[in-house]
Amino acid sequence: MSAKKRILVIDNEEGLCRMMEQILLDNGYLAQACTSPRTAVDEFRPGAWDLVITDIKMPGMSGLEVLQRIKELSRDTPVIMITAYATVDMSIQALRKGAYDMLTKPFEPEELIFRVKNALQQSDLLEENRELRKELEGKFSFDNIIGASEQLRSVLGKVEKVAVRDTSVLITGESGSGKELIAQAIHYNSPRHERRFMAINCGALPETLLESELFGYKKGAFTGAKDSRQGLLEAADGGTLFLDEVGNLPMNVQKTLLRFLQEKEFNRLGDTSPTRVDVRVLSATNSNLKDAVKNGAFREDLFYRLNVVNIHLPALRERRDDIPPLAAHFIHLQNQKFGTSVKGFEKDALQALCSFDWPGNIRQLRNVIEACMALGVEDSICRESLGQFIDITDVSHENLQSAQLLHDGVPFSTALDRFETDLLKDLLAKHRGNIEAAAREADMNMATIYRKIKKYGIRKEDFS
């Protein structure tokens, strides 16, 4: 059962104040009446109340002053204002200062409860959004992108630098290599992280539908357009739009997109009035856009607008050190989802896993592991199970050292911790405990280095 909502009622008119308190108590809320606005503000603590109801006209301190002080202390606490003199000017002032609602005296108990429920529902929704943002920020933080190879560290170093700069980024790499994950990491570590991240695969939709999805349309723009509809650019206002497989954009859409990138405005289909939005555009492609420009399939001016910064994500075969921790991560996810307890791969299976070229990259690796575990393996995945989904007849043994990372059932967290610990110790030994030099070689932020050596109990003094 959810906890009762706590409501603070402030009104210098004691009779009305006590009456509201009792109405709220009768309806299952935890309410407290206060007839001194100054006392209420002095004793107000963030997190102590889910809602504040205050009169506007009070001696000593007006309701607008109460509202301002509460918003300074707890921006997200909703406040309902009560007044017997509801002028338009006063209402505008209250709403500008952050009031959720205005309630005019006299009012019926049912109306009070209705306004209270609305305010609390809105507050709950905001809290859910905050929790979701925290979850997403954690999911797409740099520390949660799986892998610690030199190639991936170099990519994440660039991501960390470019995330805070509001510029266009073109992410290149083979299909399945994780380009959208990098785009999400850029967004959720940028100043836009509290706004929406919208993504669209430019190669998955026909030309006419793609244009309307991106830019929206006005009512009557075409047969079936019974109502106006906003596109993804408008939906992402203040946030980020990710254009996956941008090389598949039709020429007419390229032209409209270029205008937006230059002018920060566009026209909905069938609309003559421009729409202005503030959106950061990230894009990705698995094709060579320079060749497309030469062939006339992609606009050169748009290419340079999108490719202000280029981040190339290496194929999985080019960063084999990331295969063991990625594999363990996918096993962990499957174990959580289905309640299984698979520990990892048998030694020869892991050797094959690390030696395979993975033409489908991370996506293929994940799918193969899911398929292997769907067969009902017990403690570990064997070479025979793996051989049903990839060709393991001609794999090398060059990656035995990487394969040992998950051998004998070492869990994912232990394997990754061991890898990062060894890496940090090697860097600190090489640079005699100099954090700045170690961070520079690893292409990592110094704060990240400090956080990790604290996590693993490493003392830089031991290497100086």
pLDDT at 174: 93
CA pair distance 49, 6, nearest whole angstrom: 5
Query: How many C-alpha atoms does 335 have within 13 Å on its Cβ side?
Result: 17
CATH topology of domain 6-134: Rossmann fold (3.40.50)
Place of tokens 């991240």: 197
β-sheet bridge partners, residue 243: 200, 283
Partners of residue 269 on adjacent β-strands: 217
Query: What local confidence, expressed as pLDDT, does residue 364 receive?
Result: 94
What are the beta bridge partners of residue 172? 285, 312
Tokens of 445: 């932020």
Place of tokens 């993975």: 358
Question: How far apart are the C-alpha atoms of 51 and 8, rounded to whole Å?
Answer: 6
Q: Residue 399: what pLDDT?
A: 45
Tokens 């990790």 correspond to 452
CATH 1.10.8.60 domain position(s) in the chain = 317-455
> Given this model, what pLDDT does residue 218 score?
78
The predicted model scores a pTM of: 0.60
Closest C-alpha among 151, 213, 175, 231 to residue 359: 175
Residue 55: DSSP 8-state: E
Q: Where in the chain is the domain with CATH 3.40.50.300?
A: 141-314
Q: Which residues of 248-261 are buried (b: 16+ CB within 10 A; e: fewer)?
A: bbeeebbebbbebb
Q: What is the mean pLDDT of each run of 10 residues along the chain (464 residues)?
A: 80 91 93 93 89 91 91 89 76 81 87 91 72 51 68 87 92 92 90 90 84 82 72 91 94 92 87 88 94 94 95 92 86 87 85 89 93 85 90 58 45 59 81 83 72 82 78
Identify the CATH number of the domain defined by range 317-455.
1.10.8.60
Return the closest-CA partner of residue 281 out of 192, 208, 218.
192
**CATH T-level fold of 141-314:** Rossmann fold (3.40.50)
* Residue 138 and residue 120 in contact, taking contact as beta carbons nearer than 8 Å: no
